[in-house]
Chains A and B, each alone.
Chain A
Amino acid sequence: DAKTTQPPSMDCAEGRAANLPCNHSTISGNEYVYWYRQIHSQGPQYIIHGLKNNETNEMASLIITEDRKSSTLILPHATLRDTAVYYCIVTTGANNLFFGTGTRLTVIP
């Protein structure tokens, strides 16, 4: 599976949009981009995934560049409960997930 690069930490004001970037320049054509988050002391929680089109669900939006070498997870209105470590993972979906170090997002009141 391709590796990803994420900033180690970010802050976001409560109520504002949180934009979390991810670089995956070696992504293969059959690999999806997945986002998970881990709130302290809990198991990782699925957020969203996409192949090449932008995706939106009730939690977030995923913007994937046309060359698929990077993506951005957008939390439109961040709340204090969104404070967590966010993991960007690229995988074919056929096997396990490889977790990098992720981005620690802190939502500030």
Chain B
Amino acid sequence: SAVISQKPSRDICQRGTSLTIQCQVDSQVTMMFWYRQQPGQSLTLIATANQGSEATYESGFVIDKFPISRPNLTFSTLTVSNMSPEDSSIYLCSDRWNYGYTFGSGTRLTVV
């Protein structure tokens, strides 16, 4: 399986600002996924990012709030824009390999 490096691991941000989270995969993968995990909750899919095409967003998530880039088969970024305290969560990226999925270690975001 691939190894995913995600950064930053945590950050504290002011409301109204934006944060970009990066995920680097050690091998080429077609599909990458971005999840949000709110405090005490399970993981919720934000969007699916395929290289060379626009990301596909799940209901309740929009590109203006969570723009995603996928410039090549080993890298993706998620930006959390115009942040509010409600955006305080753990954000995780994931890839799909053969029949399994690997996850990054997560970014713990606190908005104050």
Majority-rule SS of B interface residues: strand
Which of A42, A95, A96, A100 gathers most chain B CB within 10 Å?
A: A96
- B103 and A44: CB pair below 8 A? yes
- A41 and B99: CB pair below 8 A? no
- B100 and A44: CB pair below 8 A? no
Contacts A32-B99, A49-B99, A49-B100 given; does A44 touch B43 at CB 8 Å = yes
- A96 and B100: CB pair below 8 A? no
Number of A-B contacts (CB under 8 A): 48
Bound Cα distance from A22 to B12, whole angstroms: 37
Tell yes or no: A43 within 8 A of B by CB: yes
Contact of B104 among A34, A43, A99, A102 (CB under 8 A): A43
- B92 and A43: CB pair below 8 A? yes
Majority-rule SS of A interface residues: loop
With both chains docked as a complex, state the minimum distance between the C-beta of A57 and any C-beta of chain B, in angstroms.
12
Contacts of A42 in B (CB 8 A): 105-106
**Which residues of B5-55 are within 8 A (CB) of A?**
6, 31, 33, 35, 42-45, 48
Tell yes or no: B61 within 8 A of A by CB: no
Interface residues of B (CB under 8 A from A): 1, 6, 31, 33, 35, 42-45, 48, 90, 92, 94, 96, 99-106, 108
